[in-house]
Amino acid sequence: MATFDVGVQEQRDQTTGQGRVVNDFSIQVATVNGSGSQSANTVLLRSIFQMGVPVSGKNLFPSNIAGLPTWYTIRASKYGYIARKKEIDFLVAMNQETAQEDVMSLRPGAACVYDEPLNLSRLRNDVTFYPVPFDKLVGPVCPEAKLRRLVKNMIYVGVVDALLGIDLAESEKALRKQFAAKKKAADLNTAAIRAGHDYAKATFTKQDRFYIEAMNENQGKLIIDGNAAAALGCMFAGVTVVTWYPITPSTSLVEQLIDYLKEYRIGHDGKATFAVVQAEDELAAIGMVFGAGWAGARAMTSTSGPGISLMSEFAGLGYYAEIPGVVFDIQRVGPSTGLPTRTMQGDVLTTAFLSHGDTKHIVLFPASVEECFTFAMEAFDLAEKFQTPVFVLSDLDLGMNNWMADPFKYPEKPIARGKILNEEDLKRLGGFSRYKDVDGDGIPYRTLPGTDVAQAAYFTRGSGHNEKAQYSERPDDYVHNMDRLARKFETARSAVPAPVRHVDGTSRIGIIAYGTSHWALLETIDQLREEFRVKADYLRIRAYPFNHDVHDFVKDHDRIYVVEQNRDAQMFQLLKLDLAPEQVVKLRSVRHYNGLPVDARSLTDEIISQAGK
Amino acid sequence: MSATPTTPAPKTNHIGLTVIDYRGGKTTLCAGCGHNAISERIIDAMYEMGVQPEFVAKLSGIGCSSKSPAYFLNHAHGFNAVHGRMPSVATGVALANRKLMALGISGDGDTASIGVGQFVHLMRRNLPLIYVIEDNGVYGLTKGQFSATADIGAKLKTGVINDLPAIDTCIMAIQLGATFVARSFSGDKKQLLTILKAAIAHKGTAMIDVISPCVTFNDHEGSTKSYKYSKDHDEPVNELGFVPYFENIDLDYDPGTTSTVRMHDGSELRLRKLEREYDPTDKLTALRVLEEAHSKGEMLTGVFYVNTQAPSFVDLLNLVDEPLARLPESLVRPPREALDEIMESLR
Report how far residue A265's alpha carbon sits from residue B334's, in angstroms, rounded to the nearest whole number. 7
Query: Exposed, middle or buried by CB within 10 Å (0-12, 13-18, 19+), for A373?
Result: buried
Backbone angles phi, psi at A303, to 5 degrees: -155, -170
| Mean pLDDT of all residues in A456-472 | 97
Note every long-range contact of A437-444, with CB atoms under 8 Å and residues 24 or more positions apart, other chains counting. A437/A484, A437/A487, A441/A487, A441/A488, A441/A491, A442/A484, A442/A485, A442/A486, A442/A487, A442/A488, A442/A489, A442/A490, A442/A491, A443/A385, A443/A386, A443/A387, A443/A418, A443/A419, A443/A488, A443/A491, A444/A322, A444/A387, A444/A419, A444/A484
Mean pLDDT on A435-445: 98
Partners of B325 on chain A (C-beta within 8 Å) are 240, 292, 295-297, 448, 450
Whether residues A51 and A138 fall in one domain: yes
CATH number at residue B197: 3.40.50.970
Does the distance separating the beta carbons of B59 and A291 come in below 8 Å? yes
Looking at beta carbons, which residues of chain A come within 8 Å of B318?
Answer: 270-272
Contact call for B76 and A449, based on CB within 8 A = yes
Q: Does B27 touch chain A (CB under 8 A)?
A: no
Which chain A residues are Cβ-neighbours of B317 within 8 angstroms? 272, 275-276
Of the candidates A547, A423, A449, A454, the one whose C-alpha atom is nearest the C-alpha of residue A497 is A547
CATH of the domain at A266: 3.40.50.970
Q: Do A274 and B87 touch (CB under 8 A)?
A: no
For position B6, what pLDDT does the model report? Answer: 76
Q: Which domain holds residue A507?
A: 500-611
Q: What separation in angstroms does the CA of B36 have from each of A290, B22, B216, B256, B334?
A: 28, 14, 14, 37, 49
pLDDT digits (tens, 9 = 90+) for B251-265: 667 777 888 999 999
Question: Got the DSSP string for A164-208?
Answer: HT--HHHHHHHHHHHTTT-HHHHHHHHHHHHHHHHHHHHHPPP-S
Using CA coordinates, name the residue in chain B closest to A238.
B332
Does the structure show a pLDDT above 50 at A257? yes
Taking CB atoms and an 8 Å cutoff, what residues of chain B touch A274?
324, 332
User: Is A2 among the domain residues?
Assistant: no
pLDDT tens across A521-570, in order?
Answer: 999 999 999 999 999 999 999 999 999 999 999 999 999 999 999 999 99
Does this model's pTM top 0.90? My answer is yes
**B95-132 pLDDT tens trace:** 999 999 999 999 999 999 999 999 999 999 999 999 99
Whether chain A has a CB inside 8 Å of the CB on B337: the answer is: no
Sheet with A587-591, edge to edge strand ranges: A500-503, A537-541, A509-514, A559-564, A587-591
**pLDDT value of position A8:** 39
* Interface touch A265/B338, C-beta < 8 Å: no
Residue A278 dihedral angles phi and psi, to the nearest 5°: -85, 105
| Same domain for A505 and A465 | no
Task: Tell whether B33 is covered by a domain.
Answer: yes
Q: Do B92 and A415 touch (CB under 8 A)?
A: no
A255 and A388, same domain (yes or no): yes
Could you tell me if A473 and A524 lie in one domain? no
Asked if the C-beta of B20 comes within 8 angstroms of chain A's C-beta atoms, the answer is no
Asked if the structure places residue B5 within a domain, the reply is no
Give, as one character, the DSSP assignment of residue A372.
H
Disruptive mutation site among B332, B337, B345 for chain A (greatest number of A CBs within 10 Å): B332
pLDDT at A331: 98
Closest chain B residue by Cα to residue A46: B347
Q: Do A370 and A248 fall into the same domain?
A: yes
In this prediction, residues A322-340 reach a mean pLDDT of 98
A320 and A401 housed in the same domain: yes
Question: Are A462 and B82 inside 8 Å of each other by CB?
Answer: yes
CB atoms within 10 A of CB B157: 16
Q: For testing the chain B interface, which of A280, A313, A434, A470 should be mutated: the one with the most B CBs within 10 Å?
A: A280
Residue B111 DSSP one-character state: I
Q: What is the pLDDT of residues A580-595, one digit of tens each?
A: 999 999 999 999 999 9
Are B327 and A260 an interchain contact pair (Cβ–Cβ within 8 Å)?
A: no
Question: pLDDT digits over A147-178, tens only?
Answer: 898 899 999 999 999 999 999 999 999 999 99
Residue A16: its pLDDT value, please? 57
For residue B346, what is the nearest residue in chain A, using CA coordinates? A222
Residues A37 and A185 in one domain: yes
Interface contact flag, B118 A283, Cβ < 8 Å: yes
Instruction: Give residue B55's domain range.
Output: 19-325
Q: What is the pLDDT of residues A190-239, one digit of tens each?
A: 999 999 999 999 999 999 999 999 999 999 999 999 999 999 999 999 99
Assess if residue B340 is contained within a domain. Answer: no
- Whole-number pLDDT of residue B8: 83
Asked whether residue A461 carries a pLDDT value surpassing 50, the answer given is yes
CA quadruple B324, B330, B335, B339: dihedral, nearest 10? 30
Do A299 and A368 lie in one domain? The reply is yes
CA atoms lying within 13 Å on the CB side of residue A450 = 20
Interhelix angle B34-49/B189-201, nearest 10 degrees: 50
Same domain as A282, residue A253 = yes
Residue A6 has a pLDDT of: 35
Rounded to an integer, the average pLDDT of A257-285 is 97
Nearest residue to A343 (alpha-carbon basis) of A70, A58, A100: A58
CB A600 within 8 A of CB A524: yes
**Residue B138 belongs to some domain of the structure:** yes
pLDDT band at A2 (very low <50, low <70, confident <90, very high): very low
A13 falls within a domain: no
Q: Is B102 on the interface with A (CB under 8 A)?
A: no
The verdict on A272 and A176 lying in the same domain is no
User: Residue type for B327, please?
Assistant: L
Residue A417 lies in a domain: no
**How many domains is chain A built from?**
4
**Per-residue CA distances from A325 to A411, B196, B291 (Å):** 20, 33, 43
The residue among A590, A592, A591 whose CA lies nearest residue A613 is A590
Q: Does any domain span residue A270?
A: yes
Structural domain contains residue A413: no
Q: Contact A272/B91, CB-based, under 8 Å? A: no
Residue B175 counted as domain residue: yes
List the single residue in A235, A236, A287 with the smallest CB-CB distance to B88: A287
Which of B81, B97, B342 comes nearest A296 by C-beta?
A: B97
Q: Residues A299, A243: contact at Cβ < 8 Å? A: yes
- Ranges of residues in chain B whose predicted pLDDT is under 50: none
Q: What percent of chain A stands above pLDDT 90?
A: 92
In sequence order, which residues have a C-beta less than 8 Å from that of residue A262 and are 6 or more positions away? none
| Beta carbons within 10 angstroms of residue A533's beta carbon | 7
Does A280 sit within 8 Å of B77, measured CB to CB? no
CB spacing of A460 vs B346 below 8 angstroms = no
Position B235 in a domain: yes
Does the pLDDT at position A15 exceed 60? no
Q: B125 φ, ψ to 5°?
A: -80, -15
Q: Count of CB contacts below 8 A, A vs B?
A: 220
Q: Do A240 and B334 touch (CB under 8 A)?
A: no
Structural domain count, chain B:
1
Which residues of chain B lie closer than 8 angstroms to A290, CB-CB?
81, 89, 92
What's the gap in Å between the CA of A276 and the closest CA on chain B?
A: 8
Indicate which CATH number applies to the domain containing A133: 3.40.920.10
Query: Is residue A12 very low, low, confident or very high in pLDDT (cuts 50, 70, 90)?
Result: low
User: Quick check: is B345 in a domain?
Assistant: no
Phi, psi of A115 (to 5 degrees): -70, 115
DSSP H/E element including A393: strand A389-395
Q: Do residues A231 and A328 share a domain?
A: yes
What integer best gives the mean pLDDT of chain A?
Answer: 95
Residue of B nearest to A301 (CA): B92
| Of the residues A355, A372, A405, the one at which a domain ends | A405
B78 touches chain A (CB under 8 A): yes
